[in-house]
Chains A and B, each alone.
Chain A
Amino acid sequence: MSLSTPVALTGRAALGLTRLIGRVAIFASRSLARLPEPREFLRQLIQIGWLSLPVVGLTALFTGAALALQMYSGGQRFSAAEVVPAVVAIGMARELGPVLGGLMVAARVASSIAAEIGTMRVTEQIDALVTLSADPQRHLVTPRLWAAILAVPILVGVGDVIGIMGGWIVGTQSLGFTSAAYIKGSWSFLESWDVVSGLLKGAVFGLIVALSGCWFGMNAGRGAAGVGRATKYAVVAAAVGIFAANFAMTGLFFG
């Protein structure tokens, strides 16, 4: 193997990645430049938002409860157990609510979008849309992207409240906080930017989740194996995208 081979391979990989990012960016901007069809938009809002509520709610509840337990035992080491309500509230609003909510939506929604659109691809339903003078991107992608951008911040907001409630249950039932003290402790240190930054993260994570599902679905390979691969890549790409975007946005907002 010559010395130039690894350089050439790295160059090719970098070019390929740049090309892919460019194609996905054009795909997303074309889809978002249009208004969704109202009927399909509402259907997607229910699919992505309303039907994800139980899983996001349960995740937030247990996360808030576990965080309260962790903070209490950790805080006791330096006599700071009273910060539990504030840490749970800020942690949920800034970080855990959006990230875990986004990941749960990625698991539930990116996979189902990729499977649905991928199946439509392999059964020629997308070709059928073209022959019926319907733009597949406008019909399938636009409503899903807008619905996810709107629904995920709402889910994050609800998840924040449920997560704080999880901490409150543990705090009042087993850590010795009174209800009033816990609520006061949660509110007194929470700033509006903590909540708003989390909701903004939610909107970006929603876009990443729906975009992954739609992109891999629209580009699914042939047969059941093609749909299976599209589903797997959609979930992995959405999860990695959420972590990367979270790091970038946290740096931007709080760095």
Chain B
Amino acid sequence: MSPVLETRGLCKAFGSQQVLAGVDLAVEKGESLVVIGQSGTGKSVLLKCILGLETPDAGQVLWQGKPLDRRTRAAFLDGFGMLFQGAALFDSLTVWQNVAFRLRRRLGDAEARRIAVEKLARVGLGPEVADLHPAALSGGMAKRAGLARAIAADPQVIFFDEPTTGLDPIRAARINALIRDIVTETGATAITITHDMTTVRRVADRVAMLSGGGVVWQGDVAAMEAAHEPHLHDFIRGIWRP
């Protein structure tokens, strides 16, 4: 099966710091890929290069076998959803307006609101939350509202950037379960960036380890637990070597 999304030789430097040095990654339709790595290894930069928020110095991003350029990226984003690390809800809009942000451009407000309330219910938030502003939500509620926004337009590809960062273990477990269920239900392709091993074990079909600017290991969760690759071995066990 050909990959739905692929990076080939992706390079990105900031000044003298080479963050990505030839990243080759491929994710197939309906697959849940989790990218792990220590802080500062370029996981978020990789996401931003795929989304066009950063311009790679070299390499390509391919979607359905075609390079993502300005024109094809617009089509890619139309079928795309993303949960940001801090939820990134728009402060000036209410929760339902956030969730229905994309929908309101093609549907009337009443229909968009109905779908938004439905998606909020899917992530366990009641209709009483719909008219609140993001500032009134707890961290866990904001994450779930962000997740509702990510899935509001039934995307084919969803990115999750550090989905459990800043949450207590119970709320983190809830988010992990929601991600797994949503990916399974919708058949969407998912890429998750995290350094939370519970998330890895809960949501990954396949794991890729980023270190030194490239992918140093990839495989499924069972293979990850048994792997001897030193970076991966130390990372999943939390071993610090001075």
Shortest A42–chain B CB gap in Å is 13
Asked if B126 lies at the interface with its beta carbon under 8 angstroms from chain A, I say no
Asked if B88 lies at the interface with its beta carbon under 8 angstroms from chain A, I say yes
Residues of chain A lying within 8 A (CB to CB) of residue B51? 127, 130-131
CA distance A147 to B81 in the complex (A): 31
Cβ contact within 8 Å between B77 and A128: no
Cβ contact within 8 Å between B86 and A130: no
CA distance A119 to B80 in the complex (A): 24
Q: Which of B77, B81, B159 has the most C-beta atoms of chain A within 10 angstroms of its own C-beta?
A: B77
Partner of A124, one of B74, B88, B102: B88
Instruction: Kindly identify, within residues 111 to 126 of chain A, every residue whose CB is under 8 Å from any CB belonging to chain B.
Output: 119-120, 123-125
Asked if B85 lies at the interface with its beta carbon under 8 angstroms from chain A, I say yes
Cβ contact within 8 Å between B102 and A127: no
Residues of chain B lying within 8 A (CB to CB) of residue A119? 91
Shortest A122–chain B CB gap in Å is 10
Q: Which of A120, A132, A134 has the most C-beta atoms of chain B within 10 angstroms of its own C-beta?
A: A132
Q: Which of B81, B82, B89 has the most C-beta atoms of chain A within 10 angstroms of its own C-beta?
A: B82
Main secondary structure of the interface of A (DSSP, over half): helix
Asked if A4 lies at the interface with its beta carbon under 8 angstroms from chain B, I say no
Shortest B205–chain A CB gap in Å is 23
Asked if B52 lies at the interface with its beta carbon under 8 angstroms from chain A, I say yes
Cβ contact within 8 Å between B84 and A124: yes
Cβ contact within 8 Å between A132 and B101: yes
Cβ contact within 8 Å between B78 and A128: no
Cβ contact within 8 Å between B80 and A128: no
Cβ contact within 8 Å between A124 and B85: yes
Asked if A133 lies at the interface with its beta carbon under 8 angstroms from chain B, I say yes
CA distance A132 to B82 in the complex (A): 9
- Known interface pairs A128-B84, A133-B74; 19 further A-B residue pairs with C-beta atoms within 8 A, sorted by A's residue number: A120-B90, A120-B91, A124-B84, A125-B88, A125-B89, A127-B51, A127-B84, A127-B88, A130-B51, A130-B52, A130-B53, A131-B51, A131-B77, A131-B80, A131-B82, A131-B159, A132-B102, A133-B77, A134-B101
A sample of 26 cross-chain residue pairs with beta-carbon separation below 8 angstroms, ordered by A number, consists of A119-B91, A120-B91, A123-B88, A124-B84, A124-B85, A125-B88, A125-B89, A125-B90, A125-B91, A127-B48, A127-B84, A127-B88, A128-B82, A128-B84, A128-B88, A128-B89, A128-B90, A130-B52, A130-B77, A131-B77, A132-B77, A133-B77, A133-B78, A133-B102, A134-B101, A134-B102
Q: List the 5 shortest-distance A-B pairs measured between CB atoms, nearest first.
A: A128-B88, A124-B88, A131-B82, A133-B77, A124-B84
